[in-house]
Amino acid sequence: MHDISLITTIALGLSTALVFGMLAKRLGLSPIVGYLVAGVAIGPHTPGFVGDANIAAQLAEIGVILLMFGVGLHFSLKDLIAVRSIAIPGALGQSTAATLACTGLAVAVGWSWQSGLILGIAVSVASTVVLLRALMDHGSVDTPEGHAAVGWLVVEDIITVLVLVLLPPLAEGGGGGADLWQTMGLAMLKLAVLTVIILLAGARFVPWLLLRVARLRSRELFTLAVLVMAICVATVSYVAFGASMALGAFLGGMVVGQSKVSDQAAADVLPMRNAFAVLFFVAVGMLLDYRTLLESPLLIVGVLAIILIVKPLAALVIAIVSGHSLRTALTVAGGLAQIGEFSFILGDMAKSLGLMPGAGSNVLVAGAIVSISLNPLIFRRMLALEPRLQSWPWLARLLARGNQRRGAEANELAAATMQDPGAIVVGYGPVGQTFTRLLSEFGINPTIIETNVDAVLELQQRGQQALFGDASRPDILKAAGITSAAYLVVTIPQAEVSLRIIQAAREIAPVIRVLTRAAYINQHEAFAEAGAAIIRFDEAESAAALAEALLQDIDAPADRIEAMVKAVRKELAPRTRQKLASQAS
């Protein structure tokens, strides 16, 4: 019989990952935990069938390439610049704190400080996959705090990529001195040349090529072209420039991301990335030797403490001290309390170069399994702390000072470029975001008033007119240009706050047309007396939306659905008038 070790390794790895992944999901854990445990189960250090570790390692390398290609594909300098005030100092500060703590721990258990430093860098970076899953589960991906967390992680990824570049010359020049600096300098020169070639030459050739392939209207050829970009750029980077395949794939992804067909490229590479990412985690799990963990329990307990306590605490303090909102601080702290794929990549390379003991990889795998398992719970508990922490007087004063300082800076920046708005939108929650987008589609550039300073700064980075402050204050309304605006749109859900805003606006601009939302139909009279011209009730819209959903579910005709929804709204509207009439009589 011919050799089918490759096929059996893939079949064994994926099937075992499926079983343990489903079990992990049923237990409310991340499937990544199941994939890691599957690797442990078929690894050489546990009884039963053993997979081919060498083949699994090469398959894992493809997983690394596709993971890094996906990161580069979605990497945007514009998005990073929008959250640079928290992402750059936050990632650098947290990484430094975790690295120093881990270095001290490693030295305490008998490691060299160099090995401890590399272990600390590996522990300091969190998993993109786990973070995005936590944000998606809580609907926070497209929020200012979600953008801040993702930007924070992107900076950590960049730091790790640079470390991956420096590890080989560090190993070659292990003796130190001039030879080490010369080797590292040559490596950085090669990196600069590689980056220039890929980002400048590739920025023209790759998008041109992908566009030509896309015009052939062959899905198979387009997918093949994307796969070639990922693997070939990574391979050339490694063979010709001595850079890691991970870095080459990251740069290749950035180039493809500039193409007009980047969305389709991302969609095509996603299934392949997911499949090989599973094999990557399985291969990492196969490396775990539980016996070494029993030999150094202090190290694993200390690393877990750094991941679950030091990293979140450092992130929380940095975010609060730098003047960001408590929700942003808690989101970042909870989301980054874990380690993942980058930690494995860095640890595996350091081990292969002899820069870190074999126990280091086992510590990273064990730390990942525990932290990824606990992260959903930690994330929820961190966000649940917000009301309790806000009740602490000293913290409330600190947050208020930070918000006022950064808000004043944001308003000064806005005042220099402020133009007369066609409308003013108060609140930038889901309703405010939708309303702003609709206004923009009709050529109206509104001014947004928001009390979340992070959201204001992010909007200003995008070129949107935004002010920080309480919209019930006349000076904030005047600064927003209410005297020249035709419409005031109040999207916040609290009725008492909305009423104060409408009353303040009417005193300054008596003829402005006010549109507002209200939670309940019985609030109509109060809003009408305050001066609202158009009122939409959450209660009525929920009834209409539920009716529409039900009719769609039973496959009712579109015209019938439209008529019934109008009937529901009409039915609720007269009740309001009747109630007001009866109250008046």
Does residue 374 contact residue 293 with C-beta atoms inside 8 Å? no
Which amino acid, 309? Answer: I
For the cut 60, the answer to whether the pLDDT of residue 297 exceeds it is yes
Q: Are residues 413 and 371 in the same domain?
A: no
Determine, yes or no, domain membership for 111. Answer: yes
The CATH number given to whatever domain includes residue 141 is 1.20.1530.20
Q: Are residues 470 and 343 in the same domain?
A: no
Predicted pLDDT at 350:
85
pLDDT tens digit sequence for 351-405:
888 888 877 888 888 888 888 878 888 888 888 887 787 777 766 676 666 666 6
- The most confident of the ranges 25-39, 225-239, 399-413 is 25-39
HEC string for 268-298: HHHHHHHHHHHHHHHHHHHCCCHHHHHHCHH
Q: What is the model's pTM?
A: 0.65
Tokens of 164: 């991956």
Please state, in angstroms and rounded to a whole number, the distance separating the CA atoms of residues 221 and 212. Answer: 11
Determine, yes or no, domain membership for 159. Answer: yes
Quote the Cα angle for 425-439-138, to 5°.
65
Q: Under 8 Å CB-to-CB from 119, ≥6 apart: which residues?
A: 102, 103, 106, 111, 303, 347, 356, 360, 363, 364
Residues above pLDDT 70, as percent of the chain: 84
Q: Are residues 314 and 414 in the same domain?
A: no
pLDDT tens digit sequence for 110-158:
888 888 888 999 999 887 767 877 787 777 766 777 878 878 887 887 7
Determine, yes or no, domain membership for 542. Answer: no
For the cut 60, the answer to whether the pLDDT of residue 50 exceeds it is yes
Tokens of 393: 């007087």
For the four alpha carbons of 347, 352, 358 and 362, in that order, the dihedral sign comes to positive
Q: Are residues 121 and 235 in the same domain?
A: yes
Predicted pLDDT at 400:
63
pLDDT tens digit sequence for 433-473:
888 888 887 777 888 988 877 788 778 877 788 888 888 88
Q: Under 8 Å CB-to-CB from 198, ≥6 apart: which residues?
A: 233, 248, 251, 252, 254, 255
Predicted pLDDT at 566:
79
Please state, in angstroms and rounded to a whole number, the distance separating the CA atoms of residues 52 and 523. Answer: 69
Phi, psi of 481 (to 5 degrees): 90, 35
Single residue among 532, 555, 574 that ends a domain in this structure: 532
Q: Are residues 148 and 286 in the same domain?
A: yes
Q: Which of 367, 471, 309, 328 is nearest to 127 (CA)?
A: 367
Determine, yes or no, domain membership for 572. Answer: no
Q: What is the DSSP string of 128-150?
A: HHHHHHHHHHTT-TTSHHHHHHH
Q: Which of 370, 337, 345, 336 is nearest to 287 (CA)?
A: 345
DSSP 106: H
Exposed (0-12), middle (13-18) or buried (19+): which is 58, by Cβ within 10 Å?
middle
Q: Show contacts of 266-271: CB within 8 Å, 24+ apart.
A: 266/70, 266/73, 266/74, 268/219, 268/222, 268/223, 268/226, 269/66, 269/69, 269/70, 269/73, 269/223, 269/226, 269/227, 269/230, 270/70
Please state, in angstroms and rounded to a whole number, the distance separating the CA atoms of residues 240 and 5. Answer: 30
Predicted pLDDT at 467:
86
Q: Are residues 383 and 412 in the same domain?
A: no
What mean pLDDT value characterizes the chain? 79
pLDDT band of residue 187 (cuts 50, 70, 90) is: low
Q: Are residues 380 and 418 in the same domain?
A: no
The CATH number given to whatever domain includes residue 460 is 3.40.50.720
Domain count, the chain: 2
Domain span holding position 320? 5-387
Q: Are residues 361 and 435 in the same domain?
A: no
Q: Are residues 183 and 246 in the same domain?
A: yes
Q: Are residues 378 and 414 in the same domain?
A: no
Q: Are residues 286 and 354 in the same domain?
A: yes
Q: Are residues 204 and 352 in the same domain?
A: yes
Determine, yes or no, domain membership for 125. Answer: yes
Does residue 161 contact residue 75 with C-beta atoms inside 8 Å? no
Predicted pLDDT at 577:
44
Determine, yes or no, domain membership for 569. Answer: no
Residue with tokens 């969190």: 126
Determine, yes or no, domain membership for 63. Answer: yes
Determine, yes or no, domain membership for 73. Answer: yes
pLDDT tens digit sequence for 212-269:
888 887 878 888 888 887 888 888 877 777 666 767 777 777 777 767 666 677 777 7
Residues above pLDDT 90, as percent of the chain: 5
pLDDT tens digit sequence for 62-105:
777 777 777 677 666 666 676 777 888 888 999 999 999 999 99
Predicted pLDDT at 19:
93
